[in-house]
Amino acid sequence: MLSQLSLHDEQTAAKALQNLRPGLDVWLSPSSPTSPSMTSEPSPRSPSLTCPQSHKCSLAFILSDPAPAEEHEEISTEEEDESKPRALKHKRRAPTGSKSKYCIVEGCTSRAKHARRCWRHGGSVKCKVPECINRAKSRGVCWSHGGGTTCTHPDCGTIAVSHGFCWAHGGGKRCQVSGCSRPAYERTQNFCSMHFKQGAESSD
């Protein structure tokens, strides 16, 4: 029974193929006006007509596009422009030199205290307490009126001279004569008052 059905199906398919054969020959013929190869007008939905910039979608155009390089150059120039003001600001903030620490009076080696001058050449500020002629140490007042800092030694309320200590506890300069612990000053050439006078008398 199955063999008879399969034979019947094969015969039916063969008859249908014979009926369609003339139409296929005409459609595939080169001289047929309906042949796809003879059509002269492109389809209205052709990509070449609907997309006038279709060449930009090609791989060659994408690889040769100079836009990324130009954008990279613009970014690099912007970074350079931003770095220039920083360099100028850095130059303005740079210190003028070690000479600014000393008095501007020619031949003076003392350190500047105020207005780039030492105390001897007008670089001092008077205490702001009325009728006080002492020089101000800090906060506009002299040592006697609270200027300066207190000695860091325990139970000491004396004003510190240097390194956080007063004269009694090791602050300030000492006389350069060996064995002498008296305070020394720049005006006495780093000698105490006694040894400075002795040196001046011996030179006379």
SS3 for 91-116 is HHHCCCCHHHHECCCCCCCCECCECC
| Residue 50 falls inside a structural domain | no
Q: Name the amino acid, one letter, at 89.
A: K
Query: What pLDDT score was predicted for residue 80?
Result: 56
Judgement on whether residues 131 and 109 belong to the same structural domain of the protein: yes
Q: Nearest CA to 185 among 196, 176, 171, 173?
A: 173
Q: Name the amino acid, one letter, at 101.
A: K
Query: What pLDDT score was predicted for residue 100?
Result: 66
Query: What pLDDT score was predicted for residue 29?
Result: 53
**Contact at 8 Å (CB) between 118 and 111?**
yes
Question: How many angstroms separate the first and last alpha carbons of the chain?
Answer: 154
pLDDT average per 10 residues of sequence, the chain (204 residues): 56 67 53 46 47 57 56 54 52 50 85 79 82 82 80 84 81 85 83 86 72
Query: What pLDDT score was predicted for residue 126?
Result: 83
Q: What range does the domain containing 165 cover? A: 99-169
| Residue 119 falls inside a structural domain | yes
Query: What pLDDT score was predicted for residue 190?
Result: 86
**Number of domains, the chain:** 2
DSSP state of 185: B
CA 87/CA 93 separation, integer angstroms = 10
| Residue 160 falls inside a structural domain | yes
Q: Nearest CA to 116 among 96, 131, 140?
A: 96
CA 172 to the chain's CA centroid:
42
Query: What pLDDT score was predicted for residue 79?
Result: 55
Judgement on whether residues 185 and 155 belong to the same structural domain of the protein: no
Judgement on whether residues 163 and 187 belong to the same structural domain of the protein: no
Token digits of residue 137: 């140490």
Query: What pLDDT score was predicted for residue 32?
Result: 46
Judgement on whether residues 163 and 193 belong to the same structural domain of the protein: no
